Amino acid sequence: MYQPDIETMPLDQLRELQRTRLRQTLERVYQRVPFYRKVMDQRGLKPQDIQSVEDLPKLPFTRKEDLRDHYPYGLFAEPADRIARIHASSGTTGKPTVVGYTRRDLDIFDEVVARSLVCAGARPGMKLHNAYGYGLFTGGLGMHGGASRLGMAVIPVSGGMTERQLTILEDFRPEVICCTPSYAQTLSEALQSRGIDPADLPVQYAILGAEPWTDAIRQQVEAGLHVQATNIYGLSEIIGPGVSQEAVDERGTGSYIWEDHFYPEVVDRDSGEPLPHGEEGVLVFTTLTKEAMPLLRYWTNDICRIQYDPNGSRTHIKMSPILGRADDMLIIRGVNLFHTQVEEVIEQMDYLTPNYQLIVTRRGSLDQVEVRVEVAAGANPESTELRDRLQQKIKDTIGLSMDIMLEQPGQIPRSQGGKLARVVDQRS
């Protein structure tokens, strides 16, 4: 569902739309959410003191802990009889974060996902192989609703059961697939191992998200599934998938954030100060149209950059790929490390595959990182020369010495449909 009047709106008109919607949101949360009324009163602020998106830094951040502290419904701005759906994130510790939707929220959810699907190459009448998980996770149902809105036929496969996935790809012949990038890797390897030529499948587009990934994985997936792969970004607290989307004909230049619904900032991870466009920091969102659970300056923990693309087909701002999460950043002997930095080095070594894992341990008082990575077909995992080349490249690029363990193909864990843990921290 391409919306040129919105997606190509001149920036001054977009700012005016954001201003109007922000003021409505501020009135809503001040009147209906005691948490936000207290936060604003403590700062001596009233809704009318925030006249535009430029005034948002007057407000503090909303963090995941605030959602957990008000579990389950304390941040809802609507009564129970107006809530049409409830989702929750998978809490690794303690309670999950709970999010709610009114009927209008679900309409907006369908709209931004449909918009994202078109941006990724999908069209009405195509079939979507939906391999995101259904349930409390927003991915499966979110993509399903947007595809239905667009006029696609949805095949609700959900995650896992790779053999069944391959059968459906062959027999049902969908043109579009969506899943995590790591599971797309699993599917492409499964096709190869079974001697199935991906060119014989009708799949043209892969829409991948829910975890950070790099161009190395894109290249492997595009070759292995014979598709054009784009990134979709979202998080349940803001709406789910469909917060931003990479355009299929602009791959590698960032993902459009649908600014008419979600206003982005990037801030310094330590001070919280807003950063100029193009600088790397923590992504922060303010919802502009949510009814059930509007959020002001939500601290996503995702590290990226945002900037406008003068050569883009749309006027909305773009976000770079997610480098990592601020709370997942490793500090190894005083050096900040994201696993995607290692992935980018691996990408440059033609004798390696993108299948890897970082094992973090502590020897005495020093943290150590071991890189387990699979070699490409024909390469010798026992080769001291290949191991030393990777070790030196990592040291020269990242500034850390890491132990290297080269593995035969198939030794690193694969995704079974969900997110894949690239880092195993054994320090505790």
Q: Is 301 left (phi over 0), alpha (psi -120 to 50) or beta?
A: left
According to DSSP H, which parts of 242-373 are helical?
339-347
Structure tokens given for 285: 């969102």
The whole-number pLDDT of residue 92 equals 46
What φ, ψ does residue 353 adopt, rounded to 5°? -105, 165
Among 126-135, 260-269, 293-302, 411-420, the range scoring the smallest mean pLDDT is: 411-420
Among 141-145, 176-180, 336-340, 346-350, the range scoring the smallest mean pLDDT is: 336-340
Is the pLDDT at 367 greater than 90? The verdict is: no
The whole-number pLDDT of residue 416 equals 79
The whole-number pLDDT of residue 417 equals 75
Mean pLDDT, rounded, for 250-271:
97
305 vs 126: CA distance, rounded Å: 33
- Say how far residue 405 (Cα) sits from the centre of its chain: 29
Is the pLDDT at 82 greater than 90? The verdict is: yes
Is the pLDDT at 93 greater than 60? The verdict is: no
Strand blocks (E) in 114-248? 127-130, 153-155, 176-179, 205-208, 228-235, 240-246
The whole-number pLDDT of residue 96 equals 85
Q: Which of 205, 209, 228 is nearest to 319 (CA)?
A: 209
CA distances from 202 to 199, 225, 359 (A): 8, 10, 38
Is the pLDDT at 91 greater than 60? The verdict is: no
150 vs 116: CA distance, rounded Å: 10
76 Cβ neighbours under 8 A, 6+ residues apart: 33, 83, 100, 292, 293
330 vs 325: CA distance, rounded Å: 10
The count of residues in the chain is 428
* Confidence tier at 415 by pLDDT (50, 70, 90): confident
% pLDDT > 90, the chain: 81
Sign of CA dihedral 64, 323, 90, 146: positive
Sign of CA dihedral 350, 351, 357, 360: negative
Residue 351: strand, helix, or coil: coil
The whole-number pLDDT of residue 3 equals 87
Mean pLDDT, rounded, for 247-253:
97
Mean pLDDT, rounded, for 312-324:
95
Q: Which domains does the chain have, with CATH numbers?
A: 1-326 (3.40.50.12780), 330-425 (3.30.300.30)
The whole-number pLDDT of residue 362 equals 84
131 vs 162: CA distance, rounded Å: 10
20 vs 302: CA distance, rounded Å: 27
244 vs 239: CA distance, rounded Å: 11
Q: Which residue has the tokens 């945002």?
A: 306
* Confidence tier at 316 by pLDDT (50, 70, 90): very high
408 vs 336: CA distance, rounded Å: 29
Which DSSP symbol is given to 62? Answer: B
The whole-number pLDDT of residue 339 equals 85
* Confidence tier at 118 by pLDDT (50, 70, 90): very high
* Confidence tier at 94 by pLDDT (50, 70, 90): low
327 Cβ neighbours under 8 A, 6+ residues apart: 301
